[in-house]
Amino acid sequence: MSPKRLTWLVCAAVLAVALPAEQVCAQGNGPSILRDAETEQFLSDISAPMAKSAGLSPGALKLYVINDPEINAFVATGQAIYINSGTIQRADNANELEGVIAHELGHIEGGDAVRSGDAMASAGRITLLSLLAGIAATVVAGPAGMLAMAAGQSAAQGKYLAYSRQQEGSADASAVRHLNDAHYSGKGMISFFGKLRQEEYRLTPSYTSIDPFAVDHPMTADRQAALLGDLERSPWWNAPPDPAKQARFARVKAKLVGYLDEPPVVMNKFPERDQSIPAHYARAYAWHRSGYPDAANREVAALLAAAPHDPYFLELKGQILLESGKPAEAIPALREAVEQSRSTPLIAALLGNALVASENPANLKEAAQVLRVAVQRDNENPQAWYDLGLVYTRMGDEARASLASAERFSLQGQPQMAAANAEIALRGIPAGTPDYIRAQDLALTARDEADRERRRRR
């Protein structure tokens, strides 16, 4: 994770991705997704037994961290969970995060993302019919028509909120089973509900006067009470925390603090006297963000002294060197990081970037090999596609350079550029080959998206 490599800005609504962190999504709006190899591996590991309980195939569940300080997590279409960075930062331990993921898996298991769309569509139809009825009544009866319109909208809203509350209750019940099947304690789920209650009190001073039928979630206190008995009866309620898992959680949380918080805040949370691994991690990011590479490197040196072959410490060392204008010096650390992490795509892509940035022709063959493997295993990395395009250009393969550019522009939400590059690729790649078929697919989907954009602008 690093100031330029951690953050890939993704417009979730259109699945557009852009790098570096300072860029905005091609569509202009949408949350940023924070991607980091260590964080994603940790989330995958703790969720795997619960995903199995939810009936998901191994590796099918995707978890993304959203750059948002609020406590929240949600599911979208497909088997993906989005967790706000604020949720991780407010969690005290891995078990609390497990409770959040268990609940969201309940939504996936229940198909709630699809069914929510159905419920909203139904509510929308009611609202539309009420508006039409209200307009007609207004012509005939004046103010009475406005009352009809308001009543119809209220009925639609009430129907959708009731449906949403039912979904949340079902997801909570499923979460109990997922935690039990994974042999996880439910204490974290209950304690995190306490944090949610604090947020409710903070955001709604008149909390006690809230109409429980006017919100889309059951009241947190009611959810706690409903779940506590079932969770306490679990044979895993008093399961002791896993020290190794908690250590991994502390590292991930410290990385987020170091990356997202202002450097003075980081230094206050992790003062120099704190010589723990999470503290070194957080300060390394804070120093790097502030433009003090020597201080950042000292923190990384302390990390590597504790674990010389840790792939994520090696990754961080390479990133700092690379982003300090020393790509050739970054390559050895990143090579070892790739080896130690079993070719994790995000780290492999970073090695590819360093090999390209070194501008050494002798590194082109290795860069091409590393980057091809990286995009095969994770094709949602626009920087990797950009670097692969540069490699192909330098190797004289303009057709595949255009194909890599088409992939990148497609991810960045620029369908016209994606279509144009895909068409160039089709003219130079042998027909019937996998690359040719991929270029065809990109050209077709990009042209369709470009047409939809033009219609939206009319």
**Predicted confidence band at 120 (pLDDT cuts at 50, 70, 90)?**
very low
> Which pLDDT does position 203 carry in this prediction?
58
Measure the CA dihedral 372/378/382/388, to 10°: 0
d(CA 140, CA 215): 34
In whole angstroms, what is the distance from residue 11 CA to residue 449 CA? 15
**In this model, does residue 113 exceed pLDDT 60?**
no
Q: In angstroms, how far is CA 103 from the centroid of its own chain? A: 17
Model confidence at 385: pLDDT above 80:
yes
Nearest to 22 by CA among 35, 8, 33: 8
Convert the pLDDT of each residue in 34-58 to its tens digit: 999 999 999 999 999 999 999 999 9
Window from 114-123, 230-239, 258-267 with minimum mean pLDDT: 114-123
Residue 447 vs residues 119, 405, 436, 452: alpha-carbon distances, Å: 32, 15, 16, 9
Distance CA 301, CA 294 (A): 10
User: What are 58-73's pLDDT values in tens digits?
Assistant: 999 999 999 999 888 9
Q: Is 158 exposed, middle or buried (0-12, 13-18, 19+ CB in 10 A)?
A: middle
State yes or no: pLDDT of 104 exceeds 50: yes
Helices of type H across 110-211: 112-141, 143-181, 187-203
pLDDT of residue 246 exceeding 70, the answer is yes
Q: Percent of the chain beyond pLDDT 70? A: 75
Closest to 424 measured CA to CA, from 451, 395, 441, 401 = 401
| The pLDDT of residue 281 | 97
Q: How far apart (Å, rounded) are the C-alpha atoms in residues 371 and 377? A: 10
Query: Can you give the pLDDT at residue 144?
Result: 45
The rounded mean pLDDT for the chain is 81
Rounded distance between C-alpha atoms, residue 106 and residue 54, angstroms: 7
How far apart are the C-alpha atoms of 65 and 87, rounded to whole Å? 9
The C-alpha angle with vertex 59 and arms to 54 and 63, in degrees rounded to 5, equals 80
Residue type, 295: A
Q: Would you state the pLDDT for residue 392?
A: 98
Residue with tokens 């022709």: 361
Please report the pLDDT score of residue 163 as a whole number: 39
| Kind and range of the H or E run holding 336 | helix 327-340
Predicted pLDDT at 26? 31
Cα–Cα distance for residue pair 29/235, rounded to 1 Å: 46
Residues 6+ apart with CB under 8 A from 26: 11, 14, 16, 18, 412, 413, 414
Alpha-carbon distance of 60 to 17, in angstroms, equals 21
Residues in the chain: 458
- pLDDT band, residue 454 (cuts 50/70/90): confident
**What DSSP character marks residue 241?**
P
Q: Can you give the pLDDT at residue 457? A: 82
Q: Two tokens at 185?
A: 């304690």
Residue-level pLDDT at 257:
96
Give the pLDDT confidence of 397-412 residue by residue, as tens digits. Answer: 999 999 999 999 999 8
Look at residue 170 in the predicted model and tell me its pLDDT.
79
User: Pick the residue with more confidence: 156 or 405?
Assistant: 405
Q: What band does 158 get if pLDDT is binned at 50, 70 and 90? A: very low
Given a cut of 80, is residue 23 above it in pLDDT? no
pLDDT digits (tens, 9 = 90+) for 201-237: 665 655 444 444 434 455 567 777 778 888 999 999 9
User: In which element (H, E) is residue 64 found?
Assistant: strand 62-66
Is it the case that residue 327 has pLDDT exceeding 80?
A: yes
pLDDT of residue 4: 41
Is the confidence at residue 422, as pLDDT, over 70? yes
Contacts of 233 (CB under 8 A, 6+ apart): none
Three-state secondary structure call for residue 360: coil
| 3 state SS of 169 | helix
Task: Report the C-alpha gap between 75 and 160 in whole angstroms.
Answer: 17
pTM of the model: 0.80
Averaged pLDDT for residues 251-268:
96
Beta bridge partners of 7: 34
At 9, the pLDDT band (50, 70, 90 cuts) reads very low
Question: How far, in Å, CA of 20 to CA of 9, rounded?
Answer: 8
Please give the residue that has the higher pLDDT: either 127 or 261.
Answer: 261
| pLDDT given at position 251 | 98
Query: Residues 129-152: what's their mean pLDDT?
Result: 39
